[in-house]
Each structure stands twice: as structure tokens, then as C-alpha cells.
Structure 1
């Protein structure tokens, strides 16, 4: 009798606490966190600290105070089930930017030298003419991030940003410059400024993402169509300094990247295999709280990159292996 009561208690506890509520990653579906609420981490980025992944993004839930901008933080050990760690940024207008000021695409880096978590984000006015990056810092991955400053990297305008951390730990910022193209720059040792430019890709692209896979760098970008999806494209290079190959479609162009826009490529290196995850947003500009996420493993290697039709899938972060629903 006690055994059955204990089993019932554990089942109820797991159901209420949200433990293991997701068995697969379901691209384009509502993605419940440990509270059963749709994850609010739009335009986001992920870092891994020891065996825990931290996902940061724009908090777009309904009912937020319109005078503030919010960045949420979630944690996971399996990339499938996420615990809400709170809004690590609740920021009022930091530089008198006026009504409708913008904080977008937050990305966090951990600096081993200073032992600080450094958040970069796109900071702008309502008309997108300020075009700067903002920096906020914290002593903890899920702590409160304090605004430090904003600037234009290497004196260039900066709108959409992306992050890339190479296999040697070097940290890079990707940013869209409407006048020139797609910049990849190396951060200074303390991550509080830009050290140098690695590449200027002369293409009108935003939503920039880079991954290093088996000796090649792959860069993905999205055309400048605002909230509307478009065919994302990729190029390759043997060095971040280029030269970069011709850009090609990552998916059938008529799908408009399955109605999504790139935000990051996450490389999961395991004991048996390596999976590169295409992380993208499916924006709903009139219902931003309901914007969805399209995460799918990429077919990648030997200079080729392809995004297959989204389907539910699983990943084993320890082995690095993934399985599509058809094969489950």
C-alpha cells in the first residue's frame, strides 16, 4: 500500500513541478517551461556553464510594464526542459531614448578573466537611428544585470546582434550595419569593448549566426525584411577573416526558412557525435508573447548546410546524438 501511495505522490509531484514535461523539442509549438508557461526568450542566445545551459532572450509576456524592458533567463541540462530563473533585466530607459525605446537580442558571455557575466544587446530608439550595442554585467548567470554603457562597435551602426564563441574560447560579436553589411568582431579581453574586426561581409543581412564545424566556419544571415520571414542564407570560410563563399539558401526558398529567422547556431559536442542546432524565431509581431521557436538539427559538413523540414526531435547532450521523430 505504501508503495502505491509513494508512486502516486511522485507522479503528482512531477506533474505539478513540471519535471520532464517535454520529451521532445517541437519546432513551432508552444514550449512550456517548468511552470507550464510558454518560454519567453525571443531573439535569444545560449551559453553553457559546466553541465548547465542558460538561455537568455527578450521577455515578451503579456501584462509587462511598458516603461521597462525585460530579459529573461532559463536553465536546462538537456536543452529540452527549461527552468525559469527570472527576469535578469528589468530596465527603464537607460539613456533618455524616449517612448518606444528598444532592447533586443540579448546575448551573454562568461569572462573567465574577470569572472563576470557580460550581456550585449541591441539598444535603439523607436526609429532605429541610435543603432548601438548596450552592455550590462552580473556576478551570476541568473543574477541581476546592471547597465554599464552603450557604444557603436568600431564606430559603426549596430542593429541585430549575434554571438559566437570559438572552440578555443575566443568571444566574438556579430552585428548588422545597414550602411556596410555584416560585421564579425572580436571582443576585448574583458569583453567590455571590441578589439578588432575579423570580417566585413558585404551582404545586407541580419539575425547573424556563426558556427565552427570540422575546420570550416559557417555563417547564416537573414535578409532585411523586418518581422516578415525570408529565405535565410549561409556562406563558409576557412577563417573568420574570410574570404567567404557565395551565399546559398539553407532551406527551400519558398518556405522562407519555414517562416523563421535565425538567431544562433548551437554546437553540442558529445562523446559520440556533434549536433549543430539551428535556433530561430517565428515572430508574431501583433502577438509577440505567442512568438514561437524553430529549433532543428542542421545537416552540416564539407561546406554544405541544410535545414530539413521541422519535426519533433530529441537530443542527448551527453553523447551529442539526435533523433528525428520518424526514427524515435
Structure 2
């Protein structure tokens, strides 16, 4: 009887684990990344904010079976950056401005405004020919939404396609956006209510997109990807002592023949712990014909003294409390 009871408990436990996903002990770059329901995470082209001890990951929802009349933003939460709970599609957006079939909503990034207590989402908004080139804004009262569409505009009056976000150590929020006619990307400070772009901080004269920035040990590091659409390329980085520049020449972050291990940058996430600080290169491995299966390449970078390098991808784990990481043994 006791053996039967133990066997029953074990069977129930296996069913529970299968239904809710196994507890991940490492990050496996380029592999399917299941959420708490066992589904591959849908947060492509995404960004992360941290509130208290919880990280929130937002990105494009491209799962199979979604209504193609809408565009979706998925939200996930985690306390360890390895195990993610699906909080739902926090934005389900129909065509907001009569843009026509196959309109575009990409690279959502969310900022939290402590003064207004609002969550403000920026995203690239476009039509099929890629002529609109604007940012859209949606707002929510909670991190897991629902977000409601407010407006779109061209930041600084410039065309804007790929966008990135950067929150400096003092909490100041910045929008990074690529402007094709200018052949470079801008760093712009947000207004006090985060609902607009207030001023240009820097223009980096380099035809790059997928902009990402981190501040580490007194230097700003900016990463960008060449303009090759869905096809991966050799991402590069530059440094500056201030966001305003001047910025150094761009150099490779990985062996150029790997095309950044078939990925494109989306964010540099700084994890500050009690012992150390880890900077994570967050990137997407796009699969245009099976977008729902696009993968994520997250790797801790080798960084410091003006150097930044993405090691060869392999499984690794992170301790967010200590701020340390290690490769899987």
C-alpha cells in the first residue's frame, strides 16, 4: 500500500512537471526556450525591465494560430532569468492607423515611469512598404497590461525603424532608433511623462540597426547590426565616455565569419549582484518562414576597458543575486 501511494505521488508529480514545464537550471542559446506552460517563449525583438526582484520580458508574439488581423506583444516574468512565467499577450493590437494588410509592429520596449506610475510601451510601427517609419506608443497601469494604443510619431521628426531602449544607472530613459536617410542611429532622451522624445543626445554615424547600449565601469558600449533585413551579419560595437560621444570606431563582437552566431542584437542587459556584474548580450536568431520558431541567443559578454566580446554559445547559468555566471559543466 505504501509503495502504491509513493508510486502514485511520483506519477502525479511527473504529470505536474510535464504540464508546467521543468525547472531550468541553465540558459541554452539557440535552443527552444519553454515557459512555465512548456511553450516556446514568444518575446522576439524584445526588451527587459526589472521591478523589485522581478524581471519582465516583452517581445513580439508570433505563435502559430494567432489572428493575423492583430499584432501581439507577449509578456513574461522571472526572478532568475532562466525560468519564465507567461503573463499573457499584454497588447493585442488591430491596425491602428489604417495602414493596410501586413502592417508592421516590431521590437516592443517597455519603460516604467515612477512619477506617473504608468508602463509606457514603444514599438516600431510601419506599413508593408516600410514607408511610414514611426514609433507607436501604448500605455498600461500594470506590467502585465492590458496596454492601450495611444499614438504614433516620428521621433525628432526623423524616420524610425528598429528601436532599442536604454535606462542609465541614474534611471534616465532613452530611446535608440535607426534612421535610414541619416545612415545612422540616434540616442534620444524621453520626456518627463515618457510619452514623447524630448531631445537628441547623440547621433552615431553608422548604418546600423538593432541598437543596444550598456554603461559599464565608466564607459558606454553601443552595439549595432548591419542593414541586412532578416539575414544575420557581423554585429559591431563602439565605446564612449559619455552618451553624447564622441564614439570610437565600430569593431566586431564575435568572429565575423559566424555572423554573430546567426543572431541580431536586441538589448544589453546588466545584472548587478552582490559579488559581481554580468552583462548579457540578448539577440534573436530569426527564422523568416517559421517566425514562431525563431530562437534567442543570450550570452554573457567579456567586457571591460573598452573591449566587448561574445563567447562561443554554449549552455550557461546565472546567479542574479550574486551577479555571477558560469558555463554548464
Bucket of the pairwise TM-score, normalised by the shorter protein: over 0.9
Task: Give the structure 1 partner of residue 180 of structure 2.
Answer: 178
Task: Give the structure 2 partner of residue 253 of structure 1.
Answer: 256
In the TM superposition, 1:156-171 aligns within 5 A as: 156-171=158-173
* Deviation of 1:195 (Å): 1.0
List structure 1 runs of 4+ shifted beyond 6 angstroms.
none
Q: TM (normalized to structure 1)? A: 0.97
* Deviation of 1:63 (Å): 1.1
Taking a change above 3 Å as real, the CA distance of residues 110 and 6 of structure 1, as seen in their structure-2 partners, is: farther
Task: Give the structure 1 partner of residue 52 of structure 2.
Answer: 50
* Deviation of 1:144 (Å): 0.6
The whole-number CA distance in structure 1 between the counterparts of 2:273 and 2:19 is 29
* Deviation of 1:7 (Å): 5.9
Taking a change above 3 Å as real, the CA distance of residues 10 and 321 of structure 1, as seen in their structure-2 partners, is: farther
* Deviation of 1:20 (Å): 4.7
Q: Deviations over 1:233-272 (max 9, x none)?
A: 0000000000000100000000000000000000000000
* Deviation of 1:62 (Å): 0.9
Task: Give the structure 1 partner of residue 225 of structure 2.
Answer: 222
The whole-number CA distance in structure 1 between the counterparts of 2:49 and 2:189 is 17
Does 1:313 pair with 2:308? no
Task: Give the structure 2 partner of residue 270 of structure 1.
Answer: 273
The counterpart of 1:141, out of the listed 123, 135, 143, is 143
Task: Give the structure 1 partner of residue 234 of structure 2.
Answer: 231
In the TM superposition, 1:29-108 aligns within 5 A as: 29-108=31-110
Answer yes or no: is the 8 Å Cα contact 2:21–2:37 preserved in 1: no
Taking a change above 3 Å as real, the CA distance of residues 14 and 321 of structure 1, as seen in their structure-2 partners, is: farther
* Deviation of 1:8 (Å): 2.7
* Deviation of 1:11 (Å): 3.1
The whole-number CA distance in structure 2 between the counterparts of 1:20 and 1:318 is 22
Task: Give the structure 2 partner of residue 199 of structure 1.
Answer: 202
Taking a change above 3 Å as real, the CA distance of residues 214 and 12 of structure 1, as seen in their structure-2 partners, is: same
Aligned to 2:260, the other structure's residue is in SS state helix
* Deviation of 1:21 (Å): 2.6
The whole-number CA distance in structure 2 between the counterparts of 1:150 and 1:219 is 26
Gaps of 5+ in 1: none
The whole-number CA distance in structure 1 between the counterparts of 2:91 and 2:199 is 28
The whole-number CA distance in structure 2 between the counterparts of 1:206 and 1:292 is 19
Q: TM (normalized to structure 2)? A: 0.96
* Deviation of 1:12 (Å): 3.2
Does 1:293 pair with 2:296? yes
Gaps of 5+ in 2: none
